[in-house]
Structure 1
Amino acid sequence: MRAIHVTEFGGPEVLRLVEVPDPRPEPGRLLIDVSAAGVNYADTHAVEDSYLSRSTLPMIPGGEVVGRTEDGRRVVALADGNGGYAEKAVVREDLAIDVPESVSDAQALALIVQGLTAWHLLRTSGRVAPGESVVVHAAAGGTGSLAVQLAKAFGAGRVIATASTQDKRDLALALGADVAVAADGDGLKDRLVEANGGRKVDVVLEMTGGRVFEESLAALAPFGRLVTYGLAGRQAPEPVHAAQLMGRSRAVVGFWLMHAIGRPGMFREPLSELLEMVADGRLTPQVGGVYPLAEAARAHEDLRARRTVGKLVLDTSR
């Protein structure tokens, strides 16, 4: 089969299309004929070995696939230890879920990691209550564009989006954000407070790190929660001390989707809810680009350069 094979850590240049043997499923696992594979920002960390979990070589990147099982089921699934950027992949049976025919491949891929992440950021970690203000950073991205819509659906009182360009801010507004502001760290606290009518904010979903994290923390109201789920800026924030949290009754909560996998009620149930929301039109995943499998490196380049919106997909037929 054709697959993207990585034999050395680095940037997009290490992603090479080669022929490799077909994988063989063990008991409890399914072999998927992959029609499309999802691209996540975490993949860019995995190929340079800078993610939360360590990478090993050689590797086939990619944690999410959609396709057909050997008995003809159409499923979306988490790949078993990466392996998604390929024409075939092996997945755990319990991490594969049937896709309604009204949901496209790209839409399903938008939900398996980014949709579940957005759901848990709001429900599990952020615990957004009706009427609370929610800040969604990178609101035009794969996770952010879904979080904007879900925050409104879950009863947020005011959704404040940030994005790096006017076009991306316009998209966030079209998806339901009440206001959209520039994403850069300088002066971000003041922009967020102004966007919330002069009041500090209740919940922030943050995945950049560095100055954006620090300014977001400063913008939190008493009993506010900052949920951090990435370091897209590849710059760690300054350490947070207990007095900073206690002094204003604020909380910083970390979230990594892998900790939800296998826990009762944290995978199949929310994913089923998201698929139903897409099927009946309550949720609209944004598909930002479909790339041939052979151009995985270009997908990573575009993602890292912040040239994309929504979900990026690799078409394994090309």
Structure 2
Amino acid sequence: MSVRTRFGRVRQTLGSSIERFERVFDSERNQDNLAAFLFVLPNLVVFSVFLFGPVLFAFYLSFTDWNVLTADPNWVGLDNYVGILTPAPWADGWAVLDTPTTNLWWHAVKQTATYTIGTVPLAISGGLCAALLLDRDIRQKQLFRAAYFMPVMLSGAVSAIIWRWILNQDGIVNTVLEPIGLAHNWGGDPSTALFAVMLIAVWGGIGFNMIIFLAGLQNIPEELYDAARIDGTNGWQRFRHVTWPNLQNTYFFVIVLSIISSFQVFAIAMTFAEGGPYYATTTIAMLIYQEAFEHGQMGEAAAMAFVLFSIIFAFSYYQYTVRGNEEVNY
């Protein structure tokens, strides 16, 4: 084949490609899509380099035994995953869950689950009640909304410091309870330290959920309430048949976000009691931090992080595929 023939075929191929490209982006809609992609492209690049890349590296580290003081990671396969998951929680009559030194991972899972069960329902129900009260025409409504939302503007660490001072042995709470003999070291007792952390989370979670529920309430058409009043319904019936069905999407979003956040709790537990006393406030995120940055076991900490990711992913997948497809009955 001559050089001229080859050159002709290459030119023909390039011409066809250019024509196809022009046809794809000839329409105004496709041009808008291309412009939108170009605007998003820098964010995709940053995400890939600074977020997705480290996630892949952490996944690799989860299969290694790497201490920050050593030179190179040592490949150990699934040993990190087997090590953190054994012995199983049901071994020895579930005694593993009551003995942190036997398996600290399952103890942290139990503490995190207890924290989630204790905080999520209270924070959601409290936020809904506050939203229902502040959605009415009352005096100083904006002031009350700001007061309820104020804890959300504080970081978890700041909130924990404030409540640690309030619940201290010589704090405000014990000053009030001491005359009646109910003073207690709330943060220093292993039996009450986790409940103190839960109190902080509920205090801050109510305001955040209130704002989301308020947004949902304000999107409900007033005509539905007018029709319900014409039918002679009372306040509870309007809530049951009008408000609640129209808040299903909002409620679904709040519960998913609250549970995911509760499984990632770290700042409150770290600042309030640093995981103690006697592992009472050691949550999963707290344990991952301790293994990685206090004990230097990066490989084991990475394995714990991906097990936590699997738990959150499984829950989210269930919520969006099973509960998300349920029909709302009005």
TM-score (norm 2): 0.22
Higher relative contact order (CA 8 A, sep 6+): 2
Higher normalized strand content (fraction of residues): 1
Higher normalized helix content (fraction of residues): 2
TM-score (norm 1): 0.23
Which has more radius of gyration? 2
